[in-house]
Copies of this chain bind each other. A is one copy, B any other.
Amino acid sequence: MRKFEFQNPVKLLFGEGQISKVSSEIDSKARILLTYGGGSIKRNGVYNQVKEALRDYKVIEFGGIEANPDYSTTKKAIDLCKNEKIDFVLAVGGGSVSDATKFIAAGACYEGDSWDFVSKKVTITKALPLGVIMTMPATSSEMNNGGVISRRETKEKWPFSSPVLFPKFAVLDPTTLRTLPKRQIANGLVDIYVHLVEQYLTTTDHYMATDRLAEGLLQNLIELSPKLTSDSKTSYEDLANYMLTATLGLNGWTGMGALQDWATHMMGHEVTAIAGLDHGQTLAIIYPGTMDIMRDAKHDKLLQYAARVWNITEGSEEERINQAIEKTEQYFINAGCKVRLSDYGLGKEIANEVADRFKSRGYNIGENGIVTAEKVREILLSRV
């Protein structure tokens, strides 16, 4: 059992109508930067609710944050924070907006070039306080202290984190999800699932409590997926359960003391950086390959996963593991994602390009560093 430290101070405001409460969470004299994405919040009414809640504040807006938020975009917002003497940053949107907002909040308190946070591993020790109104559940960015930032000019995508980047609060109003496009539902169902297995599906010496929590949340996703992807209108209750499951998927609760993997995310980030696929799309392609190629190292936990998450208890150990991998892949397909590189016109070239990137970096990924550059190659080639 590993020692661990854990703390997550984010305040959740969950339920219909909670957007109106943000003003009680932000200092009344704060100058607020309101960040958002491509404008869907203006079409679905969320923007108006937020503006109404902030009617007594000085609010400066920064819209247009793209999926896989780009360094160049955040740079403009950081300048705006400095010029406008912003005291608080409020993100309204999905994981990309939330991630970008964390990067902006840290950059606004840093004299140098914020790219240093990822390129020079400069420790983020100061950030503007921030809050998140989550409207596209997937990343759990609303309740954790990390994010991912891209730089298209150099085809890079990197994670960053700091204890000072926990949002002060996260508003989770399930009614904001009523207009979510199917593509985002698919990406979310995959992303949340893979967050959970990246923390869980390694070895069996985890704490029983975190294992049980991860298994329970995975079962929730499996139960919710057909309801979220059907053509009928999704009920408030299903949206609420989906939203809460997403938030708990990567808020640290299931990761306490756990030996974690994250190889699939690291490979997926490269595929996104090179070929522009959605984050969820990359995970749906790669994760079944990680399970298969790394099956020896993950053997015991794969059997536990098969039994407890999928109720697979019949057949030889190898058969049970094969079934668990198939069930997982089928879950991704049912969610609405494709699961092969070739489905996006990609092939061996990108597998080799990604593997070569890891080779040149000279370090392995995955739990205990079991995924070498050659394993990366093998995993990605198995998913052509």
What residue of chain B has the Cβ atom nearest to residue A220's Cβ?
Answer: B208
Judge whether B245 and A208 touch: CB under 8 Å.
Answer: yes
- State the interface size on chain A (CB cutoff 8 A): 44
Tell which of B1, B215, B224, B241 touches A216, judged by Cβ atoms closer than 8 Å.
B215
Judge whether A256 and B12 touch: CB under 8 Å.
Answer: yes
Chain B residues within 8 Å of A229, by CB: none
Q: Is A17 an interface residue (CB 8 A)?
A: yes
Judge whether B9 and A7 touch: CB under 8 Å.
Answer: yes
Judge whether B212 and A219 touch: CB under 8 Å.
Answer: yes
Q: In A196-214, which residues have CB < 8 Å from any B CB? A: 205, 207-213
Q: In A1-45, which residues have CB < 8 Å from any B CB? A: 1-18
Q: Is A52 an interface residue (CB 8 A)?
A: no
Chain B residues within 8 Å of A253, by CB: 253
Chain B residues within 8 Å of A7, by CB: 9-12
Q: Report the bound CA distance from A248 to B11 in whole Å.
A: 17
Among A1, A4, A12, max chain B CB count under 10 A is at A1
Judge whether A209 and B220 touch: CB under 8 Å.
Answer: yes
Q: Is A237 an interface residue (CB 8 A)?
A: yes
Among A3, A217, A219, max chain B CB count under 10 A is at A3
Judge whether B5 and A241 touch: CB under 8 Å.
Answer: no
Chain B residues within 8 Å of A208, by CB: 220, 223-224, 241, 244-245
Chain B residues within 8 Å of A16, by CB: 3
Chain B residues within 8 Å of A215, by CB: 212, 216
What residue of chain B has the Cβ atom nearest to residue A257's Cβ?
Answer: B14
Q: Is A236 an interface residue (CB 8 A)?
A: yes
Judge whether A6 and B14 touch: CB under 8 Å.
Answer: yes
Chain B residues within 8 Å of A240, by CB: 1, 207
Judge whether B1 and A5 touch: CB under 8 Å.
Answer: no
Quote the shortest CB–CB distance from A187 to chain B (angstroms): 20
Tell which of B1, B8, B244 touches A207, judged by Cβ atoms closer than 8 Å.
B244
Judge whether A209 and B245 touch: CB under 8 Å.
Answer: yes
Judge whether A1 and B212 touch: CB under 8 Å.
Answer: no
Q: Report the bound CA distance from A22 to B90 in whole Å.
A: 34
Chain B residues within 8 Å of A210, by CB: 244
Chain B residues within 8 Å of A209, by CB: 216-217, 220, 241, 244-245, 248
**Hey, which bits of chain A sit against chain B, CB under 8 A?**
1-18, 174, 205, 207-213, 215-217, 219-220, 223-224, 236-237, 240-241, 244-245, 248, 253, 256-257
Top 10 nearest A-B pairs (CB, nearest first) are: A212-B216, A3-B15, A9-B9, A7-B11, A6-B12, A208-B241, A208-B220, A1-B240, A209-B244, A4-B14
Q: What would 9 more interface pairs be, CB under 8 Å, given A1-B174, A7-B10, A14-B257?
A: A2-B15, A4-B15, A6-B12, A6-B14, A15-B257, A208-B224, A211-B216, A212-B217, A244-B256
List 8 A–B pairs whose Cβ atoms lie within 8 Å, in order of A's numbering.
A2-B15, A6-B11, A205-B237, A209-B217, A212-B217, A212-B220, A213-B213, A216-B216
